[in-house]
């Protein structure tokens, strides 16, 4: 897109009332990374930093109406998909993405909350694999999500990650970012695979319980940065650097008693005085 133009980025996701994950976290991330955020609500949740107590679907006809009304007026430069919930929602969103010719699509295959609550029904996993992944420019699964998408054995090593990333590429996305945060060790290493190369992205592991919404934030950051970088790999690198800093600064916030959020505005808010 032209230099200096602020990109318009869309999140299609669920709402987390605590603000650490989902649509609210995505909008914070877009704003922090110089993108104008728009949002379509795909699901409602009752949750905090400790637990999800309920999920309320949004009628698919209204999801389609939200999307069609938005695209009729607003130029959308990139789209991020988060929690979709069930197979009917997945199919509805996929049809809208095709209808409106979306090309810059980042898919975070949200399947389970940080507190362990399932957020994607089993039939929706098949629909996601069939309907959404072939449309994606980038997908950002963590290791448990990759295991579900591939139906494979547990991914336990960096070598396993390399094999899994290449297998995920066969499902249709143009680029895979396989997140390695579930592996043990002093570093958290992700693997990028674009079919021509595999790139490792190591980062020092930060010891903190404030990891609520890290996957949402990373995928949103990539979507915000894609229109601002000529090379998608550069957008991914910059997004990971942003997330790492947001995790490192998360202790400045006091939100809830469970898995707290990352600090989306760490670059803009001065540290709190002690």
pLDDT value at residue 117: 66
What pLDDT band is residue 85 in, cutting at 50, 70 and 90? confident
CATH 3.30.420.40 is right for the domain spanning 8-252: no
What's the pLDDT band for 101 if we cut at 50, 70, 90? very high
- Asked whether the predicted pLDDT for residue 217 surpasses 90, the reply is yes
The pLDDT of residue 274 is 57
Three-state secondary structure of the chain = CCCCCCCEEEEEEEECCCCCCHHHHHHHHHHHCCCEEEEEEEEEEEECCCCEEEEEECCHHHHHHHHHHHHCCCCCCEEEECCCCCHHHHHHHHHHHHHCCCCCEEECCCCECCCCCECCCHHHHHHHHHHHHHHCCEECCEHHHHHHHHCCCCCCCHHHHHHHHHHHHCCCCCEEEEECCCCCCCEEEEEEECCCCEEEEEEECCCCCCCECHHHHHHHHHHHHHHHCCCHHHHHHHHHHHHHHHHHCHHHCCCCCCCCECCCCCCCCCCCCC
pTM to 2 decimal places: 0.95
For residue 112, the model assigns a pLDDT of 74
Q: Which is more confidently placed, 110 or 89?
A: 89
Q: Which residue ranges make up each domain of the chain?
A: 8-252
Which residues are marked as active site? 179, 211, 213-216
pLDDT, mean over the chain: 93
- Residue range 117-130: mean pLDDT, rounded: 85
Tens digits of residue pLDDT in 54-78: 999 999 999 999 999 999 999 999 9
């Amino acid at each position: 897109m032209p230099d200096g133009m602020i990109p318009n980025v869309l999140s299609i996701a669920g709402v987390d009332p605590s603000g650490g994950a989902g649509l609210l976290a995505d909008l914070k991330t877009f704003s922090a990374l110089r993108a104008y955020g728009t949002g379509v609500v795909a699901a409602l949740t009752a949750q905090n930093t400790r637990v999800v107590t309920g999920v309320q679907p949004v009628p698919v006809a209204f999801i389609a109406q939200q999307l069609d009304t938005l695209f009729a007026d607003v130029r959308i430069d990139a789209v991020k998909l988060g929690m979709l919930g069930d197979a009917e929602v997945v199919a509805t969103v996929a049809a809208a993405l095709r209808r409106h010719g979306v090309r810059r699509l980042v898919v975070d295959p949200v399947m389970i909350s940080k507190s362990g609550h399932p957020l994607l029904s089993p039939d929706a996993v098949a629909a996601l694999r069939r309907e959404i992944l072939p449309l994606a420019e980038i997908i950002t699964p963590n290791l448990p999500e990759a295991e579900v998408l591939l139906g494979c054995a547990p991914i336990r090593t960096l070598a396993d990650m390399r094999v899994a990333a290449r297998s995920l590429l066969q499902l249709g996305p143009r680029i895979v970012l396989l997140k390695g945060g579930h592996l043990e060790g002093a570093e958290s290493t992700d693997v990028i695979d674009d079919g021509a190369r595999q790139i490792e992205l190591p980062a020092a592991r930060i010891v903190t319980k404030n990891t609520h919404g890290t996957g949402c934030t990373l995928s949103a950051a990539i979507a915000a940065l894609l229109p601002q970088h000529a090379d998608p790999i550069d957008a991914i690198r910059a997004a990971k650097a942003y997330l790492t800093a947001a995790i490192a600064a998360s202790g400045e916030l006091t939100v809830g008693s469970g898995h707290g959020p990352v600090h989306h505005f760490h670059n803009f808010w001065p540290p709190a005085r002690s």
